[in-house]
Each structure stands twice: as C-alpha cells, then as structure tokens.
C-alpha cells in the first residue's frame, strides 16, 4: 500500500494533460447500448478508433490491445470509487472525455485497508472498490483535454451537469504486452504534455 502521508502536499501522480495530434474520431453518444441515466462500461471496436492516432502511439513504443469507454449519467451521476486493476498500482490509460463540461475524475485512498472490497467487472476483470465514506480524496481533475490518468489508484467520476459524460479510455501497453506504468508514461509522453496542468 502506498503511504500518502509522508508528504503534506499530495504529489500529482494521477493526471497530466497530453497534446495528442490526432482525435480518436468517435461519437460515443451514437451508441444505442446504454441507458442515459445509468453508468456503463463498454468495449469499443478497434475499427472505430482513428488509425492515425493508434500509429502515433505505436511510433512512441506504446501499443493498444483493447479499447473501452465509460459513461457517467448527468444530475450528480457517479462511477463509484474503484481501481481498474486487481491491486493498487501505477497502471495508466489515456482518456478523452466528451460532454458534461465541469464533470470530474477524482482520486482517493482508503481510510483503512479493511474497507477495501474486491469485485469483478461484467467482462470478468477483478478490481477493488471502497465506499466514499471510507475514502479520503487525494486529487481531482476536469478531463477537458486528452489526459494521462493513473487508474491503478482508486478513482471515481462525478457529473453534476445536465449532460451525459462519455469517456473513451485507451489502456497504454508496452510492446511485450505488459501494462505501461506512470513513471514510464512520464518518460515517453513527457515531451508531449500540455502547457496547462493542475
Ligand atoms: Fe476506472
């Protein structure tokens, strides 16, 4: 377990805006397999992503093995606090968020490890959860531009707006099929970070 209490100010090991020269060119709101009032996690077809975008990452040594998207409903909708991984770690994704300007991605830590529960996604992937009342907020960001996000840490979404919020999420992988970690992503993508950062 990471010890977040060694430093008073929480170091941003969670989020960076990245300048990506290509758009994914996908309209997730066109999907018919979601209810606008419920949160949703879907797989996205490889063919639906702009190949120029994929090529740009491949030239940096980053590969994709699957694509996915997450929907957060409006009017205070949330994706509950979770990790995308079976344990707390530093695995990253690149996210594009559409709709709901002002909505947020938030990062948390458990107040006590005993409150951490383990579940499986509908695709059979194990992950951790914790109730908000048992978590302490560490960081938050409005994902208004392409963003490198650390999703091996506990995170959640919050959408107080009147619009639904879709996030396209690209798990960043190495050529050997293992997951790219936060520090490795900083090394590779550092020169492409946006001037604006939290
Ligand atoms: Fe997640």
- Name the percent of the chain lying above pLDDT 70: 96
Mean pLDDT of 66-76: 97
Mean pLDDT of 67-82: 97
Please tell me the predicted confidence (pLDDT) of residue 122. Answer: 80
Ligand 1 centroid to 157 CA: how many Å? 9
Q: What CA–CA distance (Å, rounded) separates 59 from 25? A: 19
Q: Kindly report the average pLDDT of the chain as a whole number.
A: 95
Cβ(49)–Cβ(12) below 8 Å: no
Please tell me the predicted confidence (pLDDT) of residue 134. Answer: 98
Ligand 1 centroid to 51 CA: how many Å? 24
Ligand 1 centroid to 86 CA: how many Å? 12
The residue with tokens 């409005």 is: 142
Ligand 1 centroid to 79 CA: how many Å? 8
Mean pLDDT of 96-116: 97
C-alpha dist (Å) from residue 125 to 6, 28, 70: 32, 22, 15
Sketch the domain layout of the chain as residue ranges. 37-192
Which of 158, 136, 163 shows the shortest CA–CA distance to 79?
A: 158
Ligand 1 centroid to 83 CA: how many Å? 6
Ligand 1 centroid to 152 CA: how many Å? 8
Ligand 1 centroid to 85 CA: how many Å? 9
101 HSE (CA, 13 A, CB side): 2
Ligand 1 centroid to 99 CA: how many Å? 18
Is the pLDDT at 9 greater than 70? The verdict is yes
Within 8 A by CB and 6+ apart from 28, the residues are: 44, 69, 71, 98, 166, 168
What is the fold of 37-192? Jelly Rolls (2.60.120)
Ligand 1 centroid to 150 CA: how many Å? 9
Reported confidence tier of residue 194, pLDDT bands at 50, 70, 90: very high
Q: Of 2-6, 17-21, 90-94, where does mean pLDDT reach its minimum?
A: 2-6
Reported confidence tier of residue 124, pLDDT bands at 50, 70, 90: confident
Tell me the per-residue pLDDT of 132-191, one tens digit each, with 9 for 90 and over. Answer: 999 999 999 999 999 999 999 999 999 999 999 999 999 999 999 999 999 999 999 999
Ligand 1 centroid to 170 CA: how many Å? 11
Please state the pTM of the whole predicted model.
Answer: 0.93
Tell me the per-residue pLDDT of 15-48, one tens digit each, with 9 for 90 and over. Answer: 999 999 999 999 999 999 999 999 999 999 999 9
- Name the percent of the chain lying above pLDDT 90: 92
102 HSE (CA, 13 A, CB side): 11
Ligand 1 centroid to 21 CA: how many Å? 24
Please tell me the predicted confidence (pLDDT) of residue 151. Answer: 98
In the chain, DSSP assigns E strands to 15-17, 40-44, 67-72, 77-82, 92-98, 104-110, 117-120, 126-129, 135-141, 147-150, 154-159, 165-171
Please tell me the predicted confidence (pLDDT) of residue 4. Answer: 57
């Amino acid at each position: 377990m990471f010890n977040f209490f060694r430093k008073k100010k929480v170091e941003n090991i969670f989020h960076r805006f990245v300048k990506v020269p290509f758009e994914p060119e996908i309209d997730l709101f066109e999907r018919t397999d979601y209810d606008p009032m419920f949160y949703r996690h879907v797989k996205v077809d490889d063919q639906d992503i702009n190949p120029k975008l994929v090529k740009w990452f491949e030239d940096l040594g980053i590969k994709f093995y699957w694509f996915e998207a997450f929907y957060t409903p409006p009017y205070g909708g949330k994706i509950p606090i979770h990790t995308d991984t079976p344990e707390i770690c530093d695995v990253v994704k690149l996210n594009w968020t559409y709709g709901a300007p002002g909505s947020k991605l938030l990062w948390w830590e458990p107040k006590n490890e005993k409150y951490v529960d383990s579940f499986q996604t509908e695709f059979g992937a194990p992950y951790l959860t914790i109730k908000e009342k048992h978590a302490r907020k560490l960081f938050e960001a409005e994902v208004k531009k392409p963003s490198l996000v650390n999703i091996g840490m506990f995170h959640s979404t919050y959408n107080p707006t009147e619009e639904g919020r879709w996030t396209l999420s690209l798990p960043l992988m190495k050529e050997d099929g293992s997951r790219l970690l936060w520090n490795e992503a900083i090394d590779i993508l550092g020169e492409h970070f946006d001037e604006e950062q939290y």
